[in-house]
Amino acid sequence: MRFEPRAGLAMAAAAMLSLAGCAQQAARTPPGPQLAVVEATDARPARAETLLVFVHDDTTGALPDRDAFLRQAAQAIGGRVAAVRVVRPGYAAPDGRVSPGTRDAGIGDGYGRDAVEALGRTIRNLRGRNTRLRTILIGEGGGAALVANLAGVDPGALDAMLLVRCPCTLPEWRSLRARSDARFRQPVQSLDPVQVAGGIAPTLRAAIVVGEKDAVMLPRFSRTYAEALALRGIATDFRRLPSRGSDALDDPETIQALVNLVRPRSRS
């Protein structure tokens, strides 16, 4: 399902976003440490046409290996594609390196401004001086919330985003989880993706994917965010996968949604 805003709303949203974007561009990401990065392909960002950056979900164990997904995505996109996985603050890379910062407790507390700024610094470092590089961020679960927040706080850091299983209306998601886990009643400093969506660049391309059978990341959390983007003038590809739950990343439609982010926009 593709959300397209009405012309009047699109123009108003674009004007608002232009002002917000100028303010965000003026407030450059402050210097600081870089997050650990795991390369999934042999291509290097300095010579690539497209950079895929995967941001993982909250987890209590080892990080899931998403290299097979990234290699499949790179092949489907074609051309010179570099793909990496970013290790969120406090998490450990497979080689034992630990990203600077505090690891989240898995209660929606890992998407605050410090984590957003660390992700932005790391992406800008990866991009280097390759000004023609298309940068697409892929977030899964909590990583999707972090990517969405980056798009709102530092819009110049990415050209497109694919959000899979996003808790994009953070208070509602935490309220749902609190019914079975009292830890989710604790206050957190995370940013709510819907609340920072006004800072997203109008030129951003977005795809949002969720499984219809997902009992943790309910489809309505993603749909509400997709509608919020559309109201701000951003054409958004929203897909509810009828046969998927927490395994939405593994569906061929997810790869297709990612490929569509690279293709030229169709004229209606």
**Each residue of 113-130: pLDDT tens digit?**
999 999 999 999 999 999
Which pLDDT belongs to residue 25? 41
Domain ranges, ordered by start, for the chain? 2-262
Q: Is 92 exposed, middle or buried (0-12, 13-18, 19+ CB in 10 A)?
A: middle
What percent of the chain has pLDDT above 70? 87
For residue 67, give Cα distances in angstroms to 17, 41, 86, 87, 191.
34, 8, 12, 13, 28
Which pLDDT belongs to residue 228? 96
Which pLDDT belongs to residue 163? 98
CA-nearest of 250, 85, 102 to 165 is 250
Which pLDDT belongs to residue 22? 41
Query: For the chain, what is the mean pLDDT?
Result: 90
Contact 223, 238 (CB under 8 A): yes
**40 vs 14 pLDDT, higher one:** 40
Which pLDDT belongs to residue 32? 85
pLDDT at 251 over 90: yes
Which pLDDT belongs to residue 193? 98
Helices 219-231 and 170-178 meet at what angle, rounded to 10? 170
Q: Which amino acid is at 250?
A: D
**Each residue of 51-95: pLDDT tens digit?**
999 999 999 988 999 999 999 999 999 999 999 999 999 999 999
Q: Which two tokens stand for residue 246?
A: 């927490």
Helices (H), the chain: 7-26, 67-77, 113-127, 142-153, 170-178, 193-196, 219-231, 252-262
CATH class, 2-262 region: alpha beta
CA-nearest of 94, 151, 142, 96 to 120 is 151
pLDDT at 6 over 60: no
What are the residues whose beta carbons fall under 8 Å from the beta carbon of 215, sequence distance 6 or more?
Answer: 245
pLDDT at 30 over 90: no
Q: Is 207 exposed, middle or buried (0-12, 13-18, 19+ CB in 10 A)?
A: buried
Sign of CA dihedral 223, 228, 233, 234: negative
Which pLDDT belongs to residue 263? 85
Beta strands 50-55 and 37-39 are unpaired
The torsion of the CA quartet 252, 132, 35, 118, rounded to 10 degrees, works out to: -100
Please state the length of the chain: 268
Q: Is 6 exposed, middle or buried (0-12, 13-18, 19+ CB in 10 A)?
A: exposed
